Amino acid sequence: EAGVTQSPTHLIKTRGQQATLRCSPISGHTSVYWYQQALGLGLQFLLWYDEGEERNRGNFPPRFSGRQFPNYSSELNVNALELEDSALYLCASRVGGLAKIGEQYFGPGTRLTVT
């Protein structure tokens, strides 16, 4: 069974540009999470999508946004890129809805570098 996939592997952008990152969840998983892993800041929750809707977001500005498609894949958009947005962006999926156990399965990540 295929795991969570993300593309691209690496992305280099200039400050002020927009970045688009993509994620395909494990088959049968309808919940997708996005996390930012920045140097010195650890792993931080960004966004949660479930059944095509944004359900919750972490403490990030509105220029971080995204969507979930009917096939449950997801896209993260970062507008007006700043140098501190340079990080590894991880996508995770799990079975849908509110879940007591709720283990998440992670993709390999997209390394975003802003110059």
Partner 1 sequence: GDSVTQMEGPVTLSEEAFLTINCTYTATGYPSLFWYVQYPGEGLQLLLKATKADDKGSNKGFEATYRKETTSFHLEKGSVQVSDSAVYFCALTARGGADGLTFGKGTHLIIQP
Per-residue x/- track, 25-64, partner 1 (CB under 8 A): ------x-x-x------xx-xx-x------xx-x------
CB nearer partner 1, residue 9 or residue 14? 9
Binder among 63, 80, 105, 115 for partner 1 (CB under 8 A) = 105
CB nearer partner 1, residue 18 or residue 23? 23
What pairs with residue 5 in β-bridges?
A: 24
Return the half-sphere exposure (C-beta side, CA atoms, 13 A cut-off) of residue 91: 34
Angle formed at CA 76 by CA 75 and CA 78, multiple of 5 degrees: 145
> CA separation (Å) from 66 to 2, 77, 91?
23, 5, 12
**Chain residues that interact with partner 1, rule: CB under 8 A:** 4, 31, 33, 35, 42-43, 45-46, 48, 55-56, 58, 90, 92, 94, 97-109
